[in-house]
Amino acid sequence: MKINLVTDAKYHNLALMKISSFYKAYRNEVYLNGVGKFDRTIGSWLFDFSAKVPCDYEGGPGVDPAKRLDGAQNQCPDYSLFNLEYSLGYTWECCPRKCDFCVVPQMNLPKEHKSIYTFHQPRFDTICLLNNNTFSDPDWKKTFEEIWDADLTVKDEQGYDVRLLDDEKALALKRTKFVNNRLHFAWDLMEDEAKVLEGFEILKEHKLNQHDTVVYVLVGFNTTDEEDFHRLQKIDDFHMSPYVMPYDHKDRHLYALKRFIDLRKYRSYPTIKEAWEAYRYKE
């Protein structure tokens, strides 16, 4: 059979990579975002606003957060599908947070710790964890120990929950090799300020606060402009780099703020707010 796997994911889609392994094991021809006639088309969608093609089977948060593509969960991913040069997968899928802006709580993800060797291939020296909240895993340290023992570098995309940070976890992060020395955290809600700043202090104590450290900042959900600039300024005060995440992808004001922050020119001003006013005036 000719199988077409379609997705709106730019860099990788784990579900489709596992499905590809399953079909290739039975000598089917597998294509990614192919054009033409196929015996079966399977879609995995991340975003509800993406343009989609008709599929025989489909799933993912862009269709229904609770609907998963079945049949290949235990397959090792087909890394050739996206020409990846690193391992990709979960050692812990669920997240205990119940954030209203996030689809993860709706996905009924298992609370099960897994070894990196359920998806890692020894030919790679880099691993990307898709864990939604690594530090909420009671066995989080086992994941790091396997990574250290295999002398792997971590490609950090999802980030770590700074509200759960303590000295032991900070030391684990400090011991771990990361691509471009880049760590990711997030500050989404103003109500978390006390715990977030406590986590920032721990990062500072262990010298993990640097411009290479990125903090995602959700804007346009339930915060005001003043609260957004307050969070952005605090992150900059700790010598880390904010990364604006607009909740409404059609909001031009939020995307202007994102572009402004991405430019990093605010570092030549006393405050981010002053830099923004100058930027807007020039615009």
Q: How many whole angstroms separate alpha carbon 161 and alpha carbon 23?
A: 36
Asked if residue 130 and residue 34 are part of one domain, the reply reads no
Q: How many structural domains are present in the chain?
A: 3
Cα distance between residue 119 and residue 217, in whole Å: 30
pLDDT of residue 249: 81
pTM of the model: 0.90
Q: What is the pLDDT of residues 52-88, one digit of tens each?
A: 899 999 988 888 887 777 657 788 999 999 999 999 9
* Residue 235 and residue 269 in one domain: yes
Query: Which structural domain range is residue 17 located in?
Result: 1-78
What is the average pLDDT across 232-246?
A: 97
Beta carbons of 77 and 18 less than 8 angstroms apart: yes
* 175, part of any domain: no
pLDDT at 2 over 90: yes
Calculate mean pLDDT across residues 108-126. Answer: 94
Q: What is the DSSP secondary-structure string of 144-212?
A: HHHHHHTTPEE--SS---GGG--HHHHHHHHHSEEGGG--EEEE--GGGHHHHHHHHHHHHHTT--STT
| Residue at a domain's end among 41, 59, 78 | 78
Kindly state whether residues 48 and 90 are assigned to the same domain: no
Considering the chain, what is the average pLDDT of its residues?
93
C-beta separation of 137 from 162 below 8 A: no
Mean pLDDT, residues 128-137 taken together:
97
Q: Would residue 164 count as lying in a domain?
A: no
**Is there a single domain that holds both residue 282 and residue 212?**
yes
Looking at the domain assignment, is residue 23 inside a domain?
yes
188 and 244 part of one domain: yes
- Both 55 and 96 in one domain: the answer is no
63 & 103 share domain: no
Q: For the residues 237-258, what does the mean pLDDT come to?
A: 94
Q: Residue 154 phi/psi, 5° resolution?
A: -100, 130
What is the token pair recorded at 40?
A: 């079966």
> What are the respective helix, strand and coil percentages of the chain, to the nearest 5?
35, 15, 50
